[in-house]
């Protein structure tokens, strides 16, 4: 809703335009009316809404001119300015100031001039105060934008003293906050809800703002992000206590919202590397790129354990074994560093372990919101929950994770009977009792997107606005500290205040939540350095980070089959490349890339797998035909790149709804079985050549048993991200194949869900499977002497191997 000031400004601009046109038209003959309509008008606006100044300083306000025809000013444009009444006291806090500013004729659009508002030093300890500055046009045809406000910074208060401990600073600030201040800190709104009127941040005392998937500033560049975040921060610092906002994003495989950022392999691929140190490096690089754009908080990593390939978020998991996922919580230290003192470093951000807990274990058919499995119900005993679901969260907390995000899913403990599931956002036992109690989590809990809106409310009807009072009360009392209310922040705040006033939510619960949030803000250095700098924007998409991503891609590749030691290929090979995912960087990046659901096509900077082949082996003779319609040479080695198109969350569920706004490719039915076009490409190429390689680019295993006999070498490429050259590196022996399956590869869709340790475990390729090659051309060795794919039975057989909970391990080394 526009403020009164903005509405008044719009009316003033319209009146000015009408009057100007009327005056000119009155002095013209009727034949000159067309000229009148084209008369140039100009607008002068402050470059920003708020200007901070310390006591004894002067606020320098920058004014910018634009013209209606984008041409130089035809005549001078003059306006006057004067200080008006705010919360600061004239004569004591500042000197009443007025004057005029003129843009000379010939000034180009974008020209700037400045005015200065002196601030006095009264040496008293006080909160921030404001000085509105009125702008009035005096030239005909000139309008002015919204009036700027000078903010005299708070000073002398203990919580502003960086030499005090975080605990003392939090306690001092908390004691000064009103209930409105506290509830505001517990509220997070979406960027789009505050962009048109950033004063909303100040009016609601918002503690946080986020960008959802695909929610970006008008200029989707690193500098554009810094400018946006700083604009929101200026609004937050216009409030008396000047509590900064904390901005958050989903950077789940690199800073995916930002065009030009390095896009790393999705977590499922990182799990295949079996390299915790590399995962830490990947997330450290991600943190550096995120913080460089002015964002100090990442909603990552996902440390769920995926147990059903039909789940649309399975690629966000590092794997199906809690031991593997636990090892990969190095992602937390990669983001935050190993010590709390590192959180305010320019290459670190606050981590969020998610989705607590059990979202990867939900039962197919129990999904919520129209999905088949996403947001569904995990039915388990408390003992099994503790053994298979909680370990990665415990490890993430030990690593120092500063925030936790609950799952959309529910948990139904069998200990007290089946049929009474509890939404995680309402689960006091697991949020307060287990997470904050037994696991000792001392950070803050942030909801998922409108997460509390799914809490059952027996008093609500289909038409009841959300969130409801019951949902708010239940979630706060369950232990949630901050609420992601993208477009309903004001409603949430009103409801929570009513609940506190009525005594249904205690002041102590509010104080606990706010103290946790403030602690993180102090540790991130936001009070001492609230504004982001553009000094490090060059790290976004840097050569160093892309090299790291390329290495991660190479290590993530899992060689499932390699008959006759076909791989690695010779650098001078004659290759025929086909398949829809060979030259589609959007497909190989997957979901959470530029858009929430990802985007097929030529979407981000980087190299496709085809680009990578041409780059890595420039001497190879490469023929490319996406649909394999071009002639195939009898001596060609076929490389067919098949797999999935991008998806995220429930829209990726097998049997779930189609994403209605995506590309045609993204609207295809989600399945564990290859699409017909993929099968056709394999048939055409592998049926025409003597040696055929198939790469599966996907977020989960794809059923390929029926075509395995035609394939000489099979590679699980996962979703490699922006650096497709890493795939080519292992194909042509520049790096060795070392990846191992982080999830079981089923022989048929009927076997799903299938996980290591199951009874009658007969997959096509088991958990932990992966053949190795040497980086020296043509020398290959198996990494595991064990299960061998049998295309006749669709199962596996064991040779000289032993089975452990960690997968198949070689007996003969």
Q: Which two tokens stand for residue 346?
A: 């320019």
- For the chain, the straight-line distance linking the first and the last C-alpha, in angstroms and rounded, comes to 69
Beta carbons within 8 Å of 477's beta carbon, 6+ residues apart: 428, 505, 509
Q: How many CB atoms lie under 10 A from the CB of residue 739?
A: 30
Minimal CA–CA distance to 51: which of 239, 238, 294?
238
Beta carbons within 8 Å of 672's beta carbon, 6+ residues apart: 309, 310, 654, 700, 701, 702, 703, 746, 749, 752
Q: How many CB atoms lie under 10 A from the CB of residue 402?
A: 25
DSSP label of 20:
H
CA 602 to CA 108: how far, in whole Å? 37
Instruction: Please state at what angle helix 489-501 crosses helix 469-478, rounded to 10 degrees.
Output: 70
The burial of 171, by beta-carbon neighbours within 10 Å (0-12 exposed, 13-18 middle, 19 or more buried), is given as middle
Q: Which two tokens stand for residue 227?
A: 């400018």
Pairing of strands 129-137, 149-152: antiparallel
Minimal CA–CA distance to 92: which of 50, 53, 121?
121
CA 129 to CA 563: how far, in whole Å? 75
CA 301 to CA 307: how far, in whole Å? 18
Q: How far is CA 532 from the centre of its chain?
A: 19
CA 112 to CA 46: how far, in whole Å? 9
Task: Say how many CA atoms lie within 13 Å of 211 toward its Cβ.
Answer: 32
CA 88 to CA 265: how far, in whole Å? 53
- Tokens 């002196």, residue? 118
Residue 694: which region, alpha, beta or left (left: phi > 0; alpha: psi -120 to 50)?
Answer: beta
- Of the residues 448, 499, 653, 678, only one is catalytic, namely 448
Provide φ and ψ at 558, rounded to 5°: -110, 120
Q: How far is CA 425 from the centre of its chain?
A: 20
CA 376 to CA 358: how far, in whole Å? 10
CA 743 to CA 757: how far, in whole Å? 12
Q: Identify the bridge partners of residue 801 per DSSP, sorted by sequence position.
A: 810
Q: Which two tokens stand for residue 594?
A: 């530029």
CA 216 to CA 210: how far, in whole Å? 10
Instruction: Please state at what angle helix 469-478 crosses helix 507-523, rounded to 10 degrees.
Output: 70
CA 209 to CA 166: how far, in whole Å? 23
Per the annotation, the verdict on 649 as an active-site residue is yes
Q: How many CB atoms lie under 10 A from the CB of residue 236?
A: 25
C-alpha angle 662-664-670 in degrees, rounded to nearest 5: 80
CA 423 to CA 478: how far, in whole Å? 11
Q: Which two tokens stand for residue 116?
A: 């200065």
Residue burial 453-488, b: 16+ Cβ < 10 Å; e: rest: bbbebeebeeeeebbbbbbbbbbbbbbbbbbbbbeb
Q: How many CB atoms lie under 10 A from the CB of residue 253?
A: 34
Q: What is the dihedral of CA 553, 594, 321, 426, to 10 degrees?
A: 160
Per the annotation, the verdict on 442 as an active-site residue is no
Complete DSSP assignment for 733-754 = TSS------SS-B-SSGGG-S-
Please check whether residue 384 is in contact with residue 332, taking contact to mean a CB–CB distance below 8 angstroms: no
- Of the residues 636, 649, 678, 723, only one is catalytic, namely 649
Active site residues: 448, 649
């Amino acid at each position: 809703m526009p403020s009164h000031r903005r509405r008044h400004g719009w009316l003033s601009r319209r009146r000015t335009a009408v009057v100007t046109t009327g005056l000119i038209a009155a002095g013209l003959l009727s034949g000159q009316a067309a000229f009148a309509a084209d008369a140039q008008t100009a607008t002068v606006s402050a470059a920003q809404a708020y200007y901070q100044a310390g006591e004894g300083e002067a606020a320098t306000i920058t004014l910018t001119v634009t013209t209606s025809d984008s041409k130089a000013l035809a005549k001078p444009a003059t306006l006057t300015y004067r200080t008006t009444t705010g919360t600061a006291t004239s004569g004591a806090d500042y000197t009443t100031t007025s004057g005029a500013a003129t843009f000379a004729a010939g000034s180009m659009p974008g020209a700037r001039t400045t005015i200065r508002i002196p601030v006095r030093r009264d040496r008293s300890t006080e909160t921030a105060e404001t000085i509105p500055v009125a702008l009035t046009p005096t030239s005909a045809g000139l309008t002015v934008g919204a009036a700027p406000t000078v903010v005299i910074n708070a000073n002398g208060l203990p919580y502003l003293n960086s030499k005090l401990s975080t605990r003392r600073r939090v306690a001092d600030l908390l004691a000064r906050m009103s209930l409105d201040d506290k509830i505001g800190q517990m509220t997070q709104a979406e960027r789009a809800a505050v962009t048109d009127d950033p004063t909303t941040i100040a009016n609601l005392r918002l503690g946080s703002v986020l960008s959802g998937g695909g929610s970006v500033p008008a200029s989707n560049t690193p500098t554009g992000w810094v400018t946006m975040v700083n604009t929101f921060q200026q609004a937050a610092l216009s409030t008396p206590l000047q509590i900064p906002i904390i901005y958050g994003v989903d950077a789940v495989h690199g800073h995916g919202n930002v065009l030009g950022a390095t896009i790393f392999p999705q977590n499922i691929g990182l799990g295949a590397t079996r390299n915790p140190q590399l995962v830490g490096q990947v997330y450290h690089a991600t943190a550096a790129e995120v913080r460089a754009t002015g964002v100090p908080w990442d909603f990552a990593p996902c440390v769920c354990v995926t147990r059903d390939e039909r789940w649309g978020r399975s690629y966000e998991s590092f794997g199906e074994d809690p031991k593997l996922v636990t090892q990969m919580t190095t992602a937390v230290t990669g983001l935050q560093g190993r010590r709390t003192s590192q959180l305010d470093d320019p290459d670190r951000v606050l981590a969020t372990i998610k989705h607590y807990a059990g979202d990867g274990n939900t039962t197919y058919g129990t999904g919520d919101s129209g999905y088949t499995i996403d947001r569904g119900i995990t039915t388990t005993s408390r003992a099994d929950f503790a053994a298979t679901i909680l370990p990665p969260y415990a490890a993430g907390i030990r690593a120092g994770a500063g925030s936790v995000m609950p799952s959309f899913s529910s948990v139904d403990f069998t200990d007290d009977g089946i049929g009474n599931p509890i939404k995680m956002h309402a689960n006091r036992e697991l949020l307060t009792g287990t997470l904050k109690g037994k696991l000792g989590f001392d950070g803050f809990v942030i909801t998922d997107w409108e997460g509390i809106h799914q809490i059952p409310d027996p008093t609500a009807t289909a038409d009841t606005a959300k969130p409801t009072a019951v949902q708010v009360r239940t979630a706060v009392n369950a232990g949630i500290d901050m609420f992601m209310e993208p477009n309903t922040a004001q409603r949430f705040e009103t409801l929570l205040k009513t609940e506190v006033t009525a005594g249904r939510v205690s002041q102590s619960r509010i104080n606990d939540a706010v103290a946790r949030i403030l602690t993180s803000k102090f540790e991130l250095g936001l009070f001492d350095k609230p504004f982001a700098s553009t000094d490090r924007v060059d790290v976004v998409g840097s050569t160093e980070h892309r090299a790291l991503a390329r290495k991660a891609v190479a290590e993530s590749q899992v060689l499932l089959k390699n008959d006759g030691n076909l791989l690695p290929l010779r650098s001078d090979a004659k290759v025929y490349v086909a398949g829809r995912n060979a030259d589609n960087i959007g497909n190989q990046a997957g979901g959470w890339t530029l858009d929430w659901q990802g985007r097929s096509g030529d979407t981000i900077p980087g190299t496709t797998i085809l680009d990578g082949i041409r780059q890595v082996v420039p001497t190879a003779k490469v023929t490319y035909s996406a649909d394999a319609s071009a002639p195939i040479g009898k001596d060609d080695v076929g490389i067919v790149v098949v797999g999935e198109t991008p998806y995220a969350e429930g829209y990726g569920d097998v049997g779930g709804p189609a994403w209605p706004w995506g590309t045609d490719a993204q609207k295809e039915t989600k399945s564990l079985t290859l699409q017909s076009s993929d099968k056709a490409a394999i048939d055409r190429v592998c049926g025409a050549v003597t040696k055929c390689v198939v790469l599966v680019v996907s977020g989960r295993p794809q059923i390929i048993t029926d075509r395995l006999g035609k394939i000489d070498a099979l590679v699980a490429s996962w979703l490699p991200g922006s650096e497709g050259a890493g795939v080519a590196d292992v194909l042509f022996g520049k790096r060795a194949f070392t990846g191992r399956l982080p999830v079981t590869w089923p022989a048929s869709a009927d076997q799903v869900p299938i996980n290591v340790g199951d009874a009658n475990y007969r997959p096509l390729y088991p958990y932990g499977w992966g053949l190795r090659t040497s980086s020296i051309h043509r020398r290959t060795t198996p990494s595991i002497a064990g299960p061998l794919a049998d295309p006749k039975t669709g199962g596996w057989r064991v040779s000289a191997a032993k089975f452990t909970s960690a997968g198949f391990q070689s007996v003969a080394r």
